[in-house]
Chain A
Amino acid sequence: MNIESLDLSILGPAFITGCIVLLTHVPLGREVLKRNIIFIDLALAQIAALGIVVAHVLQLEAHGWLTQVIAITSALSGAVILNWTEKHWPNVQEALIGVSFILAATGGLLLLAHNPHGGERMRELLAGQILWTSWNQILITAITSALLLAAWYGLRHGTGHLRFYLVFAIAVTMSVQLVGVYLVFASLIIPALATRKYSETKSTLIGYTIGAMGYIMGLVASAVFDLPTGPMITWLLAMTALIFYFTPSRRINTH
């Protein structure tokens, strides 16, 4: 037991980061489930990661914003291509997403073959380092997320597919660098999965609650049991969703 780690100033920034990620990912996750393109976030996150790797190989990290521009451009190009394939080959969209994922992942490995810190960077992007987020990053992410949410809900009746892919690409590029691919996937899919039978507003609100509970309990468990934070949150998100899904009161409410 590590009671001393239960410190709000240690876990607080991580929790706020989690909430900001949930803010965009819960509604987007619902859309992902509806379109049945579950692995799109893995693909786009990996393409964004490939962009970060390219920036690294070109030695552009000194200019932080340039890395971000390249990452977002990569994810956006990926999104545009996947949007195009959804229109033209809708039957094989999920397969194409899978192939993009492995191409982006192995492309990163090839580019980093001669780079000693490559492995670490790739692993960081997968498991994430949510504890290391600074208030600066939190502020930037909060502002971008607010803009994305406005775009998502504001332009509802405008362009359909493309709007989803563009908002999604930017949201994932941002969150993947904060919390890693695993937690992005969990935040996106798990709340949406647990609340899929509800109306949109209700589903989103319950999804936020489940997500926030999962993050809180995951952070506390990680502190108390002294285990890596990202993986712990992922597991507690899944458990919260499971408990919610099988709680009897839910059935009463739906009728």
Chain B
Amino acid sequence: MNIFNKLIFIIFGVCLCATTQAKINVFTCEPEWADLVRMLGGDHVKVYSATTAYQDPHRIEARPSLIAKVRRADLVVCTGAELEIGWLPMLQRQAGNSRIQRGQPGYFEAASFVERMEIPEKIDRSQGDIHAFGNPHVHLDPRRIIKIAEQLSFRLQQLGAEHSDYFKQQYTVFKTKWLDNIKQWEQSAMPLKGKKIVTHHRDFIYLFDWLGIQSAGELEPKPGLPPSPGHLSRLKQSIKQDPAIAIIYTPYQDTRPAEWLSRETGIPHIQIPYTVGGSDNANDLKGMFTETIYALLKAMQ
């Protein structure tokens, strides 16, 4: 295999140097960060996302290509706050790439740059899948995305110093457009304010925090645990007394508990993109937010 490797290296080596060497190789854990890196890095980054919207970022199947991609990465962008604790540390160890280890400029933990909700006062395992660093699903708040984008742009400027002006420019353009988008989204989502929604997992709290939506509970009895009969029937009682406008879940979650609750209560159940690629219209971050708000408004009618 060594000879084979060398052969490949000789064949592709030249073109690699000519084309991709100048680009920053970025490995992202989730598709939302891949899109953000593409927006901020433009022509000077090459991005690969380890998971798609149809995969649960909490867990992943080990494939040799993942190790190979991390080995060649100049920058690893993940959510952090223990979301990928089940696989990322092993991937980093196995890849043996010193540039992307924790604490290095090549390791970027998005959640560490924003204020997180639900940081537990004490860690008690009986509470379910509680993350010591708070709820990690920060990408569903576009205001937090701006803060993360700013830091990510700094990081790109640091790693690709020869293009730092370009990266600065990209961020400025992004920020202007994004602030406009936020205004529009907030405007159209006005009717959702104060409304109640049931979720499968506690993965929409940042969206709710932003739009002033209230959580009417989760299908999971505790974070990470599958819905149990007792919990579902209690949930059914509580939302019968105090109706929610929708029961929502992500593309990778089991639809059956939501369908059951929807049948029992008459409240519509809808799949929300959750991240980039989660529906046909959610092919970038902007599309994802537009689609999410559109879907929730539609459920109210």
Could you tell me which A residues sit within 8 Å of B by CB distance?
2-11, 59, 113-117, 119-120, 123, 127, 129-132, 134, 219, 222-223, 226-229
A-B CB contact pairs (8 Å), 28 listed: A2-B65, A2-B68, A5-B64, A6-B1, A6-B4, A6-B64, A7-B64, A10-B67, A10-B68, A10-B94, A11-B1, A113-B225, A114-B126, A115-B125, A117-B86, A117-B129, A129-B62, A131-B63, A131-B94, A132-B62, A134-B93, A134-B94, A222-B63, A222-B64, A223-B63, A223-B68, A227-B63, A228-B62
B93 contacts which chain A residues (CB < 8 A)?
134
A133 to B92, CA, bound (A): 13
Interface residues of A, dominant DSSP = helix
| Complex interface residues of chain B between 1 and 55 (CB less than 8 A to chain A) | 1-2, 4-5, 8
When distances are taken between beta carbons in the complex, the residues of chain A under 8 Å from B58 are 120
Also in contact, A120 and B62, with CB within 8 A (given A4-B68, A5-B68, A59-B125) = no
B268 sits at the interface (CB 8 A) = no
Contact B225 A131, beta carbon cutoff 8 Å:
no
Contacts of A4 in B (CB 8 A): 65, 68-69, 72
With contacts A7-B71, A116-B223, A116-B224 taken as known, whether A132 is within 8 angstroms of B94 at the C-beta atoms is yes
| B222 CB-CB contact with A under 8 Å | yes
Query: CB distance B65 to A223 under 8 Å?
Result: yes
> B221 → chain A, closest Cβ, in Å?
9
**Which residue from chain A places its CB closest to the CB of B59 in the assembled complex?**
A120
**C-alpha gap A219/B228 in the complex (Å):** 39
For residue B194, CB closer than 8 A to chain A, the reply is: no
Residue of A nearest to B95 (CB): A10
B96 contacts the other chain (Cβ, under 8 Å)? yes
A114 to B126: give the CA distance in the assembly, Å: 7
**A-B pairs with lowest CB-CB distance, top 7:** A116-B224, A116-B129, A223-B64, A131-B62, A228-B61, A5-B64, A5-B68
Q: How far is the CA of A4 from the CA of B62 in the complex (A)?
A: 16
Q: Is there an interface contact between B225 and A116, defined as CB atoms closer than 8 Å? A: yes
Bound form: Cα–Cα A59–B4 in Å: 46
- Checking A7, A59, A229 against B5 with a beta-carbon cut-off of 8 angstroms, the contacting residue is A7
Could you say which residues of chain B place their CB within 8 Å of the CB of A11?
1, 64
List the B side residues contacting A114 at CB < 8 Å: 126, 128, 222, 225
Residues of A close to B65: CB separation below 8 A: 2, 4-5, 223, 226
Contact A116 B128 (CB under 8 A): yes
C-alpha gap A177/B191 in the complex (Å): 52
Instruction: Given the known inter-chain contacts A116-B128, A116-B224, A120-B86, please indicate yes or no for A8 contacting B1, CB distance below 8 A.
Output: yes
Residue of A nearest to B223 (CB): A116
In the complex, B90 has a CB within 8 A of chain A: yes
Q: In the bound complex, do residue A229 and residue B8 qualify as a contact, i.e. CB atoms below 8 Å apart?
A: no
The answer, yes or no, to whether B266 is at the interface (CB within 8 Å) is no
Output the nearest chain A residue to B90 by Cβ-Cβ distance. Answer: A132
- Tell me if B120 is interfacial: C-beta within 8 Å of chain A: no
**What distance in Å separates the Cβ of A63 from its nearest Cβ neighbour in chain B?**
16
Chain A nearest CB from B73 CB (Å) reads 12
User: Chain B residue with minimal CB distance to A2?
Assistant: B65
Pick the contact of B64 from A115, A116, A123, A131 — CB < 8 Å? A131
For B130, the closest partner residue in chain A by CB is A116
Q: Within the complex, what minimum Cβ distance (angstroms) separates A122 from chain B?
A: 12
B125 touches A219 (CB 8 A): no
Closest to A133 in B: B94
Q: Give the complex CA separation of A226 and B62 in angstroms.
A: 10
In angstroms, Cα B68 to Cα A6, docked, is 8
- Scan B257-268; emit 1 where CB is below 8 A from any A CB, else 0: 000000000000
- Cβ of B224 and Cβ of A117 under 8 Å apart? yes
Complex Cα distance, B228 from A113, in Å, reads 9
If A131-B94, A132-B94 touch, does A10 touch B224 (CB 8 Å cutoff)? no
Contact B64 A229 (CB under 8 A): yes
Q: With contacts A116-B223, A120-B59, A223-B64 known, is A8 near B2, CB below 8 A?
A: yes
Residue pair A119, B8 in contact (C-beta under 8 Å) = no
- Measured between beta carbons, the chain A residues less than 8 angstroms from B94 are 10, 131-132, 134
CB distance from B68 to the nearest CB of A (A): 4
> Which residues on the A side are within 8 Å of B61 (C-beta)?
127, 228
* Shortest Cβ distance from residue A126 to the other chain B in the assembled complex, whole angstroms: 12
Would you give the shortest CB distance from B278 to chain A, in whole angstroms?
22
> How distant is A180 from chain B, measured CB to nearest CB, in Å?
11
